[in-house]
């Protein structure tokens, strides 16, 4: 067995590692709904230690606050699945690591937990780069197909996060 992970995920991670190595960039990831899937994919690639700096799995709000410095006010006002929280997670991962770029992922993988405003499949991403102003942070919300199930939503989210790590 070459990998425990889906080949499309490992292939994308390999591409991210190679492109960031060529660009001389180190990367970090702050994950919630993906539970370490992005970090696992990146470390599946031989030689990833030359590029991958850190992975933070902060599933609970308390972990987001303790490990990444997300404020209780942000979580209380906007919720864990919000652009404000993803932005704070990405910024926290960048500040707490030696990485040049950090991506954050937070969302609702299902099958429960969704609402009319934030249905299952809602995932929010943010990317922060060292040396850029807060205005340069990229954040976006995507709605993935909940019919693919929890694993499908998590895979789609991980692939999207990897794309955001490309230079």
Domain assignment present for 11: yes
- Gap between the Cα atoms of 64 and 119, Å rounded: 22
**pLDDT tier for residue 3 given thresholds of 50, 70 and 90:** confident
- Gap between the Cα atoms of 126 and 82, Å rounded: 10
Range of the domain at 150: 7-164
- Gap between the Cα atoms of 93 and 58, Å rounded: 11
Domain assignment present for 2: no
Cite the DSSP H helix spans in the chain: 7-23, 37-43, 61-68, 72-78, 83-95, 149-164
**Cβ(96)–Cβ(69) under 8 Å?**
yes
Domain assignment present for 1: no
Q: What pLDDT is recorded for position 106?
A: 98
Cβ neighbours, 10 Å, residue 4: 8
Average pLDDT over residues 135-151: 92
Q: What pLDDT is recorded for position 133?
A: 80
- In the chain, the number of structural domains is 1
CATH number of the domain encompassing residue 78? 3.90.950.20
Tens-place pLDDT, residues 59-82: 999 999 999 999 999 999 999 999
**Cβ(44)–Cβ(10) under 8 Å?**
yes
Least confident interval from 39-43, 80-84, 108-112, 136-140 = 136-140
The pTM assigned to this predicted structure is 0.95
Contacts of residue 134, Cβ cutoff 8 Å, sequence gap at least 6: 91
- Beta 52-57 vs 27-31: how paired, if at all? parallel
Q: What pLDDT is recorded for position 135?
A: 72
Does 3 or 46 have the greater pLDDT score? 46
Domain assignment present for 134: yes
Domain assignment present for 33: yes
- The residue behind tokens 């955001």 is 164
CA 40 to chain centre: 12
Tens-place pLDDT, residues 113-127: 999 999 999 999 999
């Amino acid at each position: 067995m070459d990998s425990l992970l889906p080949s499309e995920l490992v292939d994308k991670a390999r591409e991210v590692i190679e492109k960031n190595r060529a660009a001389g960039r180190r990367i970090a990831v702050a994950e919630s709904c993906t539970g370490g899937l992005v970090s696992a994919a990146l470390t599946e690639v031989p030689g990833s230690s030359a590029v991958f700096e850190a992975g933070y799995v902060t599933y609970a709000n308390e972990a987001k606050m303790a490990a990444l410095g997300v404020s209780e006010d942000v979580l209380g006002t906007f919720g864990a699945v919000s652009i404000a929280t993803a932005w704070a997670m990405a910024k926290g991962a960048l500040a707490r690591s030696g990485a040049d770029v950090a991506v954050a992922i937070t969302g609702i993988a299902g099958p429960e937990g969704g609402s009319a405003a934030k249905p299952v499949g809602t995932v929010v991403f943010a990317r922060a780069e060292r040396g850029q102003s807060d205005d340069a942070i990229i954040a976006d919300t995507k709605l993935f197909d909940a019919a693919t199930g929890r694993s499908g939503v998590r895979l789609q989210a991980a692939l999207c996060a990897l794309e955001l790590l490309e230079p």
